[in-house]
Structure 1
Amino acid sequence: MAFFYLNEPLYPQMQMTDIEYELFHTSYVRRLKYLAHFGAAFLVTPVVHSRFEHTLGVWKLACYFFPEDYILRIAAILHDIGHLPFSHAVEENLGFNHHHFTEKYISSFEIKNILSKYGYYTDEIIAYLDSSSPLTGYDNVLGLDHLDSFFRDTYMAGFARNLPRDVLEKLSCCEKGIVTDEETAMYLLELITVDHELFLSPHLLAVDKILSEAIRLHSKEMGTPLSDFVLLTDHEIITMLRQSSSERAKKLIELLLFRPQNIKVEETFSEHTALKLEVRKVYQKSPLVNGKPILESSKCNDIRKRLQALKKVYYIYE
């Protein structure tokens, strides 16, 4: 039974060590099961996997490419435990940084006790997560964390032409990140681009912004700091907003849940504008081909243009 619920379908099953099994059962990691990886877009798209499935996927990739690197394997399990409800949806909009909370939770008694039991230290895991590694990728090289995100998001959205486990056979991973041949690298770039065109689309940006605004209004109405919400789950946030004493917050969450088709987003400002959206930066990492990130190649001019075209300003209308 443990095999069943500590699994995900995209990659081959890997053998867990005792410490990994215990870490996956901590309250901090289990909480990820109740946080949408794709943010508030979870409410309006078929991309509904959680941070927990993503974490399992990243751990599997770490095991697949670096079976003897136990620091990396542990870091893969703990790398996302600091995420707020709905993951990135409210983080930037409300002025938080999930990396800060990740370090805080790794230092908690629950996790510190498990690490020390097996001869590991919180400081070494935090230091690993703060440095460039195969998990994050060096410089402009795609790492294991984002590799899983692009595989998983596009698979769930129905855009992946190949099963991720089949693509793995064409990949390797060095200390800098993912290495592959040109054809496979171009396929991965297409997944990266399609994923960005989806989650940076005007409507999904608006969904994230509206959710953040609803939380802000509720916090203001209740006189409670936003930091009170960081350890909640997505369901708790939805329940909180639907029961809010802020009528505006209630209307916004009802809009997201039941009438998302009524959200209007344009590129021009008017007196009816309620909220402003802005995409300032886009993804720059890619797999290594012949020692260089393929996105830097002249063959990727069209991909770079598609990504840069996403840097826009939008306005949500009432």
Structure 2
Amino acid sequence: MKPILFEKADRLDSEIVFRDTVHDYIHVRHQLILDLIDSKEFQRLRRVKQLGTSQYTFHDAEHSRFSHSLGVYELARKICDRFVRNYPNEWDDSERLVTLCAALLHDIGHGPFSHTFEQIFGTDHEHFTTEIILDETTEVNAILRKVSPDFPNEVASVITKEYPNPQVVQLISSQIDVDRMDYLQRDAYNTGVTYGKFDLSRILRVIRPHKEGIAFQIQGMHAVEDYIVRRYQMYMQVYFHPVSRGMEVTLDRLLTRARDLYQTGQLSPAVPFLEPFFEENYSVKDYLRLDDHILMYAISVWVNSEDRYLSTLSKMFLNRQPLKSVEFDREHDAETVEYLRDLVDELFYDRKYFTMTNRSSDISYDYSLKEKAPITLMHENGQMVDLSEVSPIVRILSDNLHGNDRLYVPRELLQTSLPAQQNLEIFDDVYYEFQKHIKNGKIN
């Protein structure tokens, strides 16, 4: 089926702009895009934070999935404009419509505190993204069907990487796509760090289409190389920050306790919007009711729960007093980790709800990754080369997992001196035994 062009009648009489911290202005020139932005499913993203628990470490990081999605759309729009101007023989601008819609909607399936929620309830934001696009009861689907009955399937196939044009797929999902370009810049700005601030203007200047997908002119190699380094730094310094992970672990244990109580008929008070997920019987409609506000309301209610564990974990999360961590070596420290978790269980805690191991790791660049296309550089003569073959820095970062394993436990066990408020002899014994195995923030 031939891709559908924007019709002239679809153009707005007057361009709409959104003022943006990263891109200055976000330009909307077509009614279809404005209608999608105004849909209730897309507006829900205003109530879903982009960085989840990172806001408890970097206090300005309260930006939303809404602003990020607009930014991804804007980058896709700019790139389409550049391709039309400079590569009309390599880029078919009839692909613009599906590209911009996929860029705008790529995160519409994210839920509250997305990744933590997914781990507990087995949801998947990419699955829900396609479900929201394809479900005929959603406003998004109705808007897309105005283009053609099959258009929602085309947009969804970009998200699932099944769309036949690799140029469109790689713009939305690859190892240097419009999604990553926006969130690195946006997250760096809102966390107040400089790590993610790569030379976006230069990358937009050297990006180009070719018959196999997307490439970058060889003279822009160092800008692309810097993007990889900055991405590595953001993961190590921001996304994997141990306090953010501590809040995530605390939320994980809190929701696990709430689910366990619900399944035994002991959760009080119940939160209706969460019940379908506790029962593992939820629909797209149930999912779209959820946002950060719903989850924070539930936690606020559970502060007064009669269940001591749920109440304690809820207070810890609301008051930013998460479980605290030590680093460990997964290969050598497994027995010690289990021993320390058993020590916690001897106190008035339950190791299931007040201890947890957390592994955060990332490959900065993987040239062998099939799901995400490798980064290709193009010489003036058309010869193609993988980035890792010409960049020693990227080659060092390639194919290696970066990150660590951490054991999270009640914070008083990791204080440098015995907490004064503890008067139980058993706590003193556990504290000193625990400290025997900790040195310089690591298990030894």
Name the TM tier (shorter chain): 0.7 to 0.9
Query: 1 CA distance for matches of 2:61 and 2:392?
Result: 32
SS of residue matched to 1:16: strand
Moved more, 280-289 or 204-213: 280-289
Alignment of 1:4-19 (within 5 A): 6-11=18-23, 12-19=25-32
Query: 2 CA distance for matches of 1:295 and 1:27?
Result: 43
Query: 1 CA distance for matches of 2:293 and 2:158?
Result: 32
Query: 1 CA distance for matches of 2:228 and 2:262?
Result: 45
Letter of the 1:217 partner, please give it: R
Query: 1 CA distance for matches of 2:16 and 2:38?
Result: 13
Higher fraction of strand: 2
Aligned to 1:172: 207
Query: 1 CA distance for matches of 2:140 and 2:52?
Result: 26
Which of 57, 61, 64 does residue 78 from structure 2 map onto? Answer: 64
Give me the TM-score of the superposition, normalised by structure 2.
Answer: 0.63
Alignment of 1:1-318 (within 5 A): 3=16, 6-11=18-23, 12-45=25-58, 46-67=60-81, 68=93, 69-108=96-135, 109=137, 110-119=139-148, 121-131=151-161, 133-138=169-174, 141-160=175-194, 166-167=201-202, 169-174=204-209, 176-177=213-214, 179=216, 181-197=220-236, 198-223=238-263, 224=275, 225-226=277-278, 230-231=287-288, 232-244=290-302, 245=305, 246-260=307-321, 263-268=323-328, 269=337, 270-271=340-341, 272=344, 274-279=355-360, 281-284=362-365, 287-290=375-378, 291-295=384-388, 297-304=391-398, 308-310=401-403, 312-318=404-410
**Is the contact made by 2:57 and 2:243 (CA closer than 8 Å) also made in structure 1?**
no
Q: Which has the higher contact order (CA 8 A, sep 6+)?
A: 1
**Runs of at least 4 residues of structure 1 off by over 6 A?**
none
SS of residue matched to 2:216: strand
Pair 1:63–1:113, CA change in 2 (3 A): same
**Is the contact made by 1:93 and 1:209 (CA closer than 8 Å) also made in structure 2?**
no
**Is the contact made by 1:142 and 1:178 (CA closer than 8 Å) also made in structure 2?**
no
Give me the TM-score of the superposition, normalised by structure 1.
Answer: 0.85
**Is the contact made by 2:48 and 2:113 (CA closer than 8 Å) also made in structure 1?**
yes
* Percent of aligned pairs with the same amino acid: 19
Letter of the 2:394 partner, please give it: C
Pair 1:288–1:207, CA change in 2 (3 A): farther
Q: Deviations over 1:53-97 (max 9, x none)?
A: 110010001100014411010111211111111222332354221
**Structure 1 gap segments, 5+ residues each:** none
Query: 2 CA distance for matches of 1:206 and 1:178?
Result: 39
SS of residue matched to 2:182: helix
Q: How many residues align?
A: 312
Query: 2 CA distance for matches of 1:317 and 1:76?
Result: 40
Pair 1:217–1:236, CA change in 2 (3 A): same
Pair 1:123–1:265, CA change in 2 (3 A): same
**Structure 2 gap segments, 5+ residues each:** 1-14, 82-92, 264-274, 329-336, 345-350, 367-373, 379-383, 411-444
